[in-house]
Amino acid sequence: MEIKYGRNSFFDGGLLQLIGWSILGFVITTLSLGILYPWAVVMLYGWKINHTVIEGKRMAFVGSAWGLFGNWIKWLILTIITLGIYGFWVNIKIMDWKAKNTRFRN
């Protein structure tokens, strides 16, 4: 497999957009005491993926906050029941969910 270098892969999002989405996600998460964290994840990750091109193919994020919300509540309860131990797996679960909801657009 030959690795080709060039401008086939790139990110075309802007700094001000990133700052805006990050602040909005932080505010939503903070005001809801973490319950609306799935909406913040979907907003920020969706923005990042939708501005990413890999090998000339634009990426698309197809996940929804509702799709993550049920899992988030389940993971939150498991984290509370296990006195925080399950929290170590939550980040991995979120990364897996993101991967399952990421596609090539074209």
Number of structural domains (the chain) is 1
Q: What is the dihedral of CA 98, 46, 24, 37, to 10 degrees?
A: -20
pLDDT tens digits, one per residue of 45-74: 999 999 999 999 999 999 999 989 989 889
In a domain, 22, yes or no: yes
pLDDT for the residue 66? 92
**pLDDT, mean over the chain:** 91
Token digits of residue 3: 């690795």
Structural domain including 17 reads 10-104
In a domain, 64, yes or no: yes
